[in-house]
């Protein structure tokens, strides 16, 4: 039988009070000097190797078995958490999770089952299996999958003298135990135990330490109108941190707290880090939007929804900005093309345009720079943003609110009625008088051709003086 090897992934290094400390995840053995291995497990490895070679074919070998088994038990006798995913004893039918004392005992049982010992030594070997199995599994309540495979009916009492005798004679003189077979574990039980074992050393979700220095963008603000560029850089930053952008889309699912407790803890830690990072790169108004979100995915959806539906006023501003962009030799043409592409995407992300919607947009835009229509424009823009558009599907949503150009016309008629009666006529008369004065001046100048020549002469004379 091959020597049993301990899993090497049970040792971790951490910083405590500014000092590097090694800690065993299995037995909580803390070592300040050795940073890569557990002394307790190194000692146990020696005895496990010896147990793998012993065949119990003589009194001396039986005595060696007792010594190595006693050494294993003394190493871990007070470690109630001494359970680690270890390599199987031999074959695929061996339990995947064993505490070290039980592993040593079951290695003896494996040797007996394979016919590597004489029948006269069976009593001693089987009793050793019972002794360490009872001491570790039942006395210290250590979860062990062997409990599903094999159950022993102990003929001894629960006294300390029988479970941990002071002399070797008491070990050999005990009666033979009786084996009671139990059904094999179901497929779901085996899967559960296997998942729980792998979660200890190789969790499905590992801890991510975010490198936030990669983010080089201003804080997100709706007034700045830069959500697209902020969104792109935020996603790229998380992608550079071990693909943490999967927490935004829901691609990285939360593990079960029952079957994968360590992965579940890691997932929650990563989710909290991303939420905290998100809160640091947005302004206070945006933070109020995501305050109630418990996951990074929920917070991300709230931000996308808030900035994707900014209303027709923002859409008009983007259209105006796009129409004012010009290619120039002072800037690379590719840079200008990239700006236009980004603006075009943002315009259409706010919603597709039809004839009625476009009419509403140009009507709202036509109210700009008119002081008398400032309140009307703000009210129309607010009502339009809160509505369900110009053509809502009333069959699917009977309570939908429609808002179109007819509503804007009614608002303009109301604003017109609030103006003074003579204000419109006064504006028209002033405009007419200005045009008339200009035409009269032009006619006078045309009738007196010498006037322009005299003015030029006077200007030149002043220059020489």
Is a pLDDT exceeding 50 seen at residue 110?
A: yes
Q: Is 124 in the same domain as 237?
A: no
Assigned domain for 220 exists? yes
pLDDT of residue 297: 95
Model confidence at 244, pLDDT cuts 50, 70, 90, reads very high
Q: Is 175 in the same domain as 34?
A: yes
**Which residue blocks in 281-332 are alpha helix, DSSP H?**
284-290, 296-308, 311-324
Assigned domain for 352 exists? yes
pLDDT of residue 418: 84
Is a pLDDT exceeding 60 seen at residue 329?
A: yes
Work out whether strand 178-180 and strand 19-24 pair parallel, antiparallel, or are unpaired: unpaired
Q: Is 302 in the same domain as 248?
A: yes
The kind and range of the H/E element at 98 are strand 97-99
pLDDT of residue 154: 29
Q: Is 45 in the same domain as 174?
A: yes
Angle between helices 374-386 and 311-324 (to 10 degrees): 110
pLDDT of residue 296: 95
How far is Cα of residue 158 from the mean position of the Cα atoms in its chain?
49
Assigned domain for 396 exists? yes
pLDDT of residue 10: 54
β-bridge partners, 22:
13, 31
Is a pLDDT exceeding 60 seen at residue 84?
A: no
Average per-residue pLDDT for the chain: 67
For residues 102 and 120, give the distance between their C-alpha atoms in angstroms, rounded to a whole number: 23
**Residue range(s) defining the domain that contains residue 324:** 311-418
pLDDT digits (tens, 9 = 90+) for 133-174: 444 443 333 333 333 333 333 223 333 333 333 333 333 333
Q: Is 290 in the same domain as 323?
A: no
Mean pLDDT, rounded, for 73-93 = 39
Assigned domain for 173 exists? yes
Q: Is 397 in the same domain as 337?
A: yes
Name the nearest CA neighbour of 74 among 108, 100, 103: 100
Domain boundary, last residue among 201, 229, 253? 201
pLDDT digits (tens, 9 = 90+) for 390-440: 887 778 778 878 888 899 999 999 988 888 765 554 544 544 445 455 554
Among 37-46, 220-229, 388-397, whose mean pLDDT is lowest? Answer: 37-46
Q: Is 96 in the same domain as 190?
A: yes
Assigned domain for 258 exists? yes
CB atoms within 10 A of CB 142: 21
The number of domains in the chain is: 4
Domain boundary, last residue among 264, 293, 308? 308
Among 105-114, 193-202, 229-238, 332-341, whose mean pLDDT is lowest? Answer: 105-114
Instruction: Determine the straight-line distance between the first and last CA of the chain, rounded to whole angstroms.
Output: 120
Q: Which residue's entry shows tokens 């093309």?
A: 337
Structure tokens at 97: 């999770």
Q: CB burial class (10 A; 0-12, 13-18, 19+) of residue 350?
A: middle
Q: Is 142 in the same domain as 42?
A: yes
For residues 462 and 465, give the distance between their C-alpha atoms in angstroms, rounded to a whole number: 5
Q: Which residue's entry shows tokens 């002794």?
A: 131
Q: Which residue's entry shows tokens 């935004």?
A: 248
Is a pLDDT exceeding 50 seen at residue 81?
A: no
Assigned domain for 206 exists? no
Domain boundary, last residue among 308, 328, 352? 308
For residues 355 and 183, give the distance between their C-alpha atoms in angstroms, rounded to a whole number: 74
pLDDT of residue 50: 67
Highest mean pLDDT among 196-200, 201-205, 224-228, 277-281: 277-281
Q: Is 317 in the same domain as 302?
A: no
pLDDT of residue 193: 53
pLDDT digits (tens, 9 = 90+) for 334-380: 999 998 998 888 788 776 777 888 888 888 888 888 888 888 988 88
Q: Is 276 in the same domain as 302?
A: yes
pLDDT of residue 246: 93
Question: Are 45 and 6 in contact, with CB atoms under 8 Å apart?
Answer: yes
Assigned domain for 207 exists? no
Q: Is 299 in the same domain as 319?
A: no
Q: Is 150 in the same domain as 290?
A: no
């Amino acid at each position: 039988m091959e020597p049993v090897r301990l899993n090497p992934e049970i040792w971790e290094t951490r910083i405590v009070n500014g000092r590097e400390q090694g800690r065993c995840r299995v037995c909580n053995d803390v070592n300040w000097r050795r940073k890569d291995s557990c002394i307790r497990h190194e000692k146990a490895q020696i005895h496990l190797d010896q147990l793998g070679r012993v065949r119990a074919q003589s009194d001396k070998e039986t005595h060696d078995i007792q010594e190595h088994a006693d050494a294993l038990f003394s190493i871990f006798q007070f470690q109630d958490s001494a359970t680690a995913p270890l390599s199987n004893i031999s074959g695929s039918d061996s339990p995947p999770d064993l505490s070290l004392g039980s592993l040593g005992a079951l290695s003896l049982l494996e040797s007996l089952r394979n016919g590597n010992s004489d029948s006269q030594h069976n009593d001693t070997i089987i009793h050793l299996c019972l002794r360490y199995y009872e001491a570790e599994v039942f006395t210290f309540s250590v979860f062990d999958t062997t409990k599903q495979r094999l159950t022993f009916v102990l003929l001894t009492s629960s006294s300390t003298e029988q479970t941990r005798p002071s002399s070797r004679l008491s070990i050999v003189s005990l009666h033979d135990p009786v084996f009671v077979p139990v059904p094999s574990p179901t497929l779901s039980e085996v899967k559960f135990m296997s998942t729980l074992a792998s979660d200890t050393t190789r969790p499905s979700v590992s801890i991510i330490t975010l490198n936030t220095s990669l983010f080089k963008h201003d804080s997100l603000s709706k007034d700045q109108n830069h959500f697209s560029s902020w969104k792109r850089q935020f996603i790229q930053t998380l992608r550079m941190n071990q693909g943490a952008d999967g927490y935004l889309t829901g691609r990285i699912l939360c593990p079960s707290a029952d079957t994968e407790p360590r992965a579940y803890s890691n997932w929650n830690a990563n989710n909290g880090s991303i939420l905290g990072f998100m809160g640091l790169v947005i302004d206070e108004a945006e933070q109020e939007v995501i305050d109630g979100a418990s996951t990074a995915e929920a917070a991300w959806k709230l931000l996308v929804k808030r900035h994707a539906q900014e209303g027709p006023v923002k859409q008009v501003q983007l259209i105006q900005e796009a129409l004012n962009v010009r290619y120039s030799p002072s800037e690379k043409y590719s840079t200008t093309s990239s700006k236009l592409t980004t603006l075009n995407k943002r315009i259409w992300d706010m919603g597709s345009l039809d004839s009625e919607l476009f009419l509403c947009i140009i009507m709202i835009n036509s109210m700009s720079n008119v002081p008398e229509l400032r309140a009307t424009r703000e009210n129309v823009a607010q009502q339009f943003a809160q509505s369900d558009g110009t053509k809502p599907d009333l069959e699917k949503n009977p309570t939908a609110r429609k808002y179109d150009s007819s509503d804007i016309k009614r608002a303009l008629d109301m604003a017109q009625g609030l103006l003074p009666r003579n204000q419109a006529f006064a504006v028209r008369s002033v405009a007419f008088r200005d045009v008339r004065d200009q035409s009269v001046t032009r006619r006078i100048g045309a009738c007196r051709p010498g006037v322009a020549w005299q003015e030029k002469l006077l200007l030149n004379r002043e220059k020489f003086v």
